[in-house]
Every structure is written in structure tokens, then in C-alpha cells.
Structure 1
Amino acid sequence: MDKEYIKSNESMKIETAKDLGNFVREIRESQKMTQADILGLADTGNRFIVELENGKPTVQFQKVLNVLHVLGLEIVIQKKGSF
């Protein structure tokens, strides 16, 4: 992942659960937040955060949205190939 993304407002293309997990970890760390910081704010458990950041493909979608919200991120869906 391009570290420059963290300093910009550009979009990030996510193709796998691992991509999402790596992105979430990098953004969290760039905001100097720990996994423990996310737990209470996103109303989730430590195991979930670990699994999300490790790219587990079967994490609960609403919890993913909660974590993204805490990190100030959102999901935007567009037609394939228009990125």
C-alpha cells in the first residue's frame, strides 16, 4: 500500500479482505490509535479488530462499517474499471 495515501484524500482500491485489513491497520496507526482505542469507540471486541486487520474474509460487515466510521473512513462503490 502506498504510504502517501494516508496523507491525502485520494481513494484506495480494495480488492481483498487482506487489502482492507492492511489499510485499516495503516490508517489506525497513522492516527496513533491502538486496537484497544478502537474497541470501545466501534463497539466491538479485540478479536474482531485482530481478525479484520489480518484480512479474515468473513468478518461482520456492520462491525467493519463501525470501525471505518471511527477512523473517519467510508465505503464508496463504483463500477469496476472506473477507478
Structure 2
Amino acid sequence: MSSPMQDLPVGHPIGAETPIRSSVELGAVMREQRKRLALKQLDLAGLGNTGNRFIVDLENGKPTVQLQKVLDLMDLLGLEVIVRTKASRSAQPL
């Protein structure tokens, strides 16, 4: 019998890459992915070994949530963080 964590897709696509510039934007993307996977907040809390309050706070954009927990939950949802230099706002040289 497989565990619920093994049943979650790895790298489940959410469409195009989404730049995240705030905790509110990250929470919204994670909520959208959780719903896309047909998971309730309590389901994700159980899978992530965290409390439901943490999921609620995260999805509402609380800026002081624990980073490692967020990264672990993103992994469970098939999401990842990629850090790169911002694209230039202007293609013209100075």
C-alpha cells in the first residue's frame, strides 16, 4: 500500500513560470496548486506534518512563516523555487 505522499505528482505543472515578489503571491500560488490537486488544507497539513493553522497562514501570505516548512510543502505540491537574476526592464544599453 502506497503512502499519500507517494501519490502526489512530482513537478505537476501549473502553467507558465510565476515570478513571486511577496508572501501573498506565494500563498496564492500554493493555494491554487493545492486545489488543483484536490487537496483540502487539512490534507496538506497532514501530509506535511504541520498544523492546519500553518497552511492557513501560508496561503494568506503571512510573511513570518518558517522557510523550511514552506519549501517542504512546495515539494509535496510539486512546486520548486528557482533563483535567478531578474531580467532587465529595458533592453536598451545605457
TM-score under structure 1 normalisation? 0.84
Q: Which residue of the other structure, out of 12, 22, 28, is the alignment partner of 1:16?
A: 22
- Where in structure 1 are there 5+ consecutive unaligned residues? none
Higher relative contact order (CA 8 A, sep 6+): 2
Q: Is residue 86 of structure 2 the alignment partner of residue 80 of structure 1?
A: yes
Task: Give the total of aligned pairs.
Answer: 76
- Where in structure 2 are there 5+ consecutive unaligned residues? 1-12, 89-94
Residue 52 of structure 1 corresponds to which residue in structure 2?
Answer: 58
Percent identical residues: 49
Residue 31 of structure 2 corresponds to which residue in structure 1?
Answer: 25
Once the two structures are superposed, residues 23-67 of structure 1 have per-residue CA deviations (whole angstroms, 9 ceiling, x without a partner) of: 111111111110011112111111100000000001000010111
TM-score under structure 2 normalisation? 0.75
Partners of 1:46 and 1:39 in 2: CA distance: 5
Deviation, 1:81, is 2.0
Structure 1 residue ranges (4+ consecutive) displaced by more than 4 angstroms after TM superposition: none
Question: Computing the radius of gyration over CA atoms, which structure comes out larger, 1 or 2?
Answer: 2
